Amino acid sequence: MPTTPTVHFEAASTLAVVVSSNEPLLFLSEDLKVIAASASFCRAFEIDPATVPGRRLSELGNGEWAMPKLASLLKATASGSAHIEAYQIDLMRPNQKTRHLVVNARTLDDGDIDHVRLLLAVADVTDARAEARLKDDLIRDKAILLQEVQHRVANSLQIIASVLMQSARRVQSAEARGHLHDAHHRVMSIAALQRQLSTSAGGNVELRAYLTQLCQSLGASMIAAPDRLSIQVTVDDSAVEADVSVSLGLIVTELVINALKHAFPDERMGRIAIDYRSSGNDWTLTVTDNGIGMPTGTDAPKAGLGTGIVEALSRNLQAEIRLSDAAPGAAVTITHVEGAELSADLSTAA
């Protein structure tokens, strides 16, 4: 059985462990001859296992393992003066791509101090590194793409907003102008949400920041005398899904537009308060004004588009709408109670 020219014989169990190692492994003598190579090593680096035993490390394959730096490090390891830990080398073979290797070497500690032998573990990290780089590239691409999309959305909303406002400046009819302004407010409401989403990390929207920004935007475009009319926003720390926040934002938009239009005639002073609070999955949104109150009965105006929007969105959120007298003024309360029966119907015009 001993066909190798070495005078020292290794324990069969040691050789078996080396050969069956899952990690590419070389078992070397002190003068860097290969005693055994793992099957995984031969497979990974395309070396015929039959040619391995007794050959010098520098003679393996087509001589691609003849790397002076590796040889000197292995010799230093054998003499006990150095350790190779995660040493990086490039394996270059003709007509093949360079492979990036991480090698670890240590002396075998089997109690036989007269015979120094080395274990050299070789990990090919080429694919793992390429994969990591690809992943980094993908993450960066995604961030760039997302920014590009947000930018495009903002620009598209700007086109819509611009056209609506330009039309509003052109039309003669005050009623038509009012409708165009309302449409513009609705677009800006969606835009405020878009802005909030683009600055938030996850898909959730922090309601306080969103509704505050929304009401600032509504106030800036609808309130000509800020010392006469004000909008106050009180929201707890709730963060909700983007879909839900769109609905809440549009509801607030409609109710605030409605209050600003109807609650404070004749230069009346006033305040609109938006309040949102949640407890578990239940929440309540209240929009209160201290204006003239909502007309009822035959004085009540016909329900408009705003009312339809508030009703439809509330129904969608499985929430109930309640109108009440805030004395002075009016309050609209929209409540979602998990599993409750619904009657989303706003009988007075909003």
Partner 1 sequence: MKNGKAVVLVVEDSAIIRMSAVDLVRSAGYEGLEAQDADEAIRILESRSDIDLVFTDVQMPGTMDGIKLSHYIRDRWPPVKLLVASGNAILEESSLPGGSRFFSKPYDDHAITDAMARLLAGGTSDGSAG
Residues that bind partner 1 (CB under 8 A): 147, 150-155, 157-163, 165-166, 169, 187-188, 191, 195, 198-199, 217, 220-221
User: 14: part of which helix (H) or strand (E)?
Assistant: helix 12-19
Looking at the Cβ atoms of 33 and 195, the one nearer to partner 1 is 195
- Looking at the Cβ atoms of 13 and 155, the one nearer to partner 1 is 155
Shortest distance in whole angstroms from residue 188 CB to partner 1: 7
Q: Who contacts 186 (Cβ-Cβ below 8 Å, separation ≥6)?
A: 250, 253
Q: Which is nearer to partner 1, 116 or 161 (CB)?
A: 161
Nearer to partner 1, 20 or 199 (CB): 199
Q: Which residue has the tokens 């129904």?
A: 315
Nearest approach, Cβ of 158 to partner 1 (angstroms)? 4
- Provide, rounded to whole angstroms, the least separation between the CB of residue 221 and partner 1: 5
The amino acid occupying position 38 is: S
Quick one: the chain helix, strand, coil %, rounded to 5? 45, 25, 35
H runs (alpha helix) in 200-349: 207-222, 242-262, 305-316
Q: How far is the CB of 167 from partner 1 (least distance, A)?
A: 9
Nearer to partner 1, 146 or 340 (CB): 146
d(CA 5, CA 8): 9
134 or 220: whose CB is closer to partner 1? Answer: 220
Q: What is the DSSP letter of 139?
A: H
- Is there a contact between 35 and 51 (Cβ–Cβ < 8 Å)? no
Q: How far is the CB of 180 from partner 1 (least distance, A)?
A: 12
CB of 337 to partner 1, least distance (A): 34
Q: Report the candidate in 51, 11, 14, 13 with the shortest Cα–Cα distance to residue 33.
A: 51
Q: Which two tokens stand for residue 52?
A: 């391995």
